[in-house]
Amino acid sequence: MADTSSNDAFVEFERVQKSYDGEILVVKDLNLQIPKGEFLTMLGPSGSGKTTCLMMLAGFETATHGEIKLDGRPINNIPPHKRGIGMVFQNYALFPHMTINENLSFPLEVRKIGKSDREAKVKRALDMVEMGDFGGRRPAQLSGGQQQRIALARALVFEPELVLMDEPLGALDKQLREKMQFEITDLAHRLGITVVYVTHDQTEALTMSDRVAVFDDGRIQQIAPPDELYESPQNSFVAQFIGENNTLEGTVKELSEGLALVQLDDGEMVDCMPVNVSKVGERTKVSIRPERVEFQKERLKEGAHMLKATVKEFIYMGDVFRTRLSVAGNDDFIIKSRNAPDQVRLKPGQQIEIGWLHEDCRALDA
Ligand SMILES: Nc1ncnc2c1ncn2[C@@H]1O[C@H](COP(=O)(O)OP(=O)(O)OP(=O)(O)O)[C@@H](O)[C@H]1O
Ligand SMILES: [Mg+2]
């Protein structure tokens, strides 16, 4: 297909809104550009609008406002089966009256692919999901996880340019799930397939994706590559939603380029990066990752502010130590340290001082 768009987006949502009942917007203002070959994951709480977005892209729902484009062309008037999109939806069942082989062959027949070619492609797709011996069965004769794998094979068998997947690995055990995660990303990258993927599992999102879009309340809160999302969350919601995070509440006391001094509600002062605070006097949630907290002064910069903390619980996890502290009124403040030979094991009741490099601590919206 020729690219007729002004930018290089393969999939594009422009100011898309969606309401099912004509009143409540479940997708509020979606702007999203996905370049060809990108693996993009939508991650967010239940009801935040992820499936609705996939359904609009697939053509099973229409946008209330705005436009969706595929390869530069509006798709509003193209019916689902003409969009050339591979899909794995939770409720998009296999054809029950067909065998597994027939289920997989069907999208190829529709595309007028010859018999011997079809057989080779079906076999390859079944082998990929480790279901090579099941071609003759019907869907009802398979377990839930096996059906899910067949659905995955069927979505990929015709090597579509775009694949939509809504929790495709939900029914699989951890080992098979991790194997399939690798198979899917490997295949997508090898064939240059663009993937829009939905999952509840943030580890899955971080490990598989080129970019992750974090949804909340019908909006994208942040869209970024996994490392940027984890290390530079742009607001409190994203900081809390992705990975483990400690939050302390306070008020901005001083603000300069690259440094905010925040007074916590118990009176203590901390140094942070101003991320979305704009003036002195503003309320803020200070956000710091457990692995970036130090309790050995020599590892901090001279003059850095320290906070008093009481050890509540020490949890030995093998590779890391996870210690729960009480800090500035927060009894669930977690720190993580690597299990090294010289690492200190803190004991409940112990009084310590903690601190951090100010660039690891982010002053976010309250
Ligand atoms: N067919 C429908 N008719 C009316 N409301 C709907 C319909 N489908 C979804 N909704 C509502 O739209 C909102 C978004 O739903 P959606 O299925 O997109 O969420 P989601 O992010 O996929 O959630 P989950 O993670 O639970 O699958 C929810 O409040 C849901 O109740
Ligand atoms: Mg959903």
pLDDT confidence band for 91 (50 / 70 / 90)? low
Q: Among 3.40.50.300, 3.40.50.10860, 3.40.50.10190, 3.40.50.2300, what is the CATH number of 9-231?
A: 3.40.50.300
Residue 6: both structure tokens together: 């002004």
Query: Which has the closest alpha carbon to 41: 153, 184, 174, 206?
Result: 206
Residue 260: both structure tokens together: 């905010």
Provide mean pLDDT across the span 341-358: 93
pLDDT confidence band for 92 (50 / 70 / 90)? low
Mutate to test the pocket of ligand 1, among 18, 21, 50, 165 (most ligand atoms within 8 A of CB): 50
pLDDT at 258 over 60: yes
User: Domain 244-365 sits in which CATH superfamily?
Assistant: Nucleic acid-binding proteins (2.40.50.140)
pLDDT of residue 333: 97
pLDDT confidence band for 5 (50 / 70 / 90)? very low
Q: Where are the beta strands (DSSP E) in 101-243?
A: 162-166, 194-199, 211-216, 219-224
Alpha carbons 271 and 141: distance in angstroms, whole number: 61
Kindly report the protein residue whose alpha carbon is nearest to atom 30 of ligand 1: 47
For strand 320-327 and strand 39-43, is the pairing parallel, antiparallel, or unpaired?
unpaired
pLDDT confidence band for 129 (50 / 70 / 90)? confident
Mutate to test the pocket of ligand 1, among 28, 48, 88 (most ligand atoms within 8 A of CB): 48
Alpha carbons 325 and 311: distance in angstroms, whole number: 5
pLDDT confidence band for 236 (50 / 70 / 90)? very high
pLDDT at 215 over 80: yes
Closest-lying ligand 1 atom to the alpha carbon of residue 61:
1
Write the CA distances from 1 to 5, 10, 155, integer angstroms: 12, 11, 20
pLDDT at 176 over 90: no
| Region of residue 264 (left: phi > 0; alpha: psi -120 to 50; beta: else) | beta
CA of 364 to the centre of ligand 1 (A): 29
Residue 51 and residue 130 in contact, taking contact as beta carbons nearer than 8 Å: no
Q: Between helices 144-156 and 100-110, what is the axis angle to 10°?
A: 20
Does 4 contact ligand 1 (Cβ within 6 A)?
no
Segments of the chain assigned to CATH 2.40.50.140: 244-365
Kindly report the protein residue whose alpha carbon is nearest to atom 7 of ligand 1: 20
Alpha carbons 158 and 171: distance in angstroms, whole number: 24
Segments of the chain assigned to CATH 3.40.50.300: 9-231
**Average pLDDT of the residues of the chain:** 91
Does 50 contact ligand 1 (Cβ within 6 A)?
yes
pTM score: 0.86
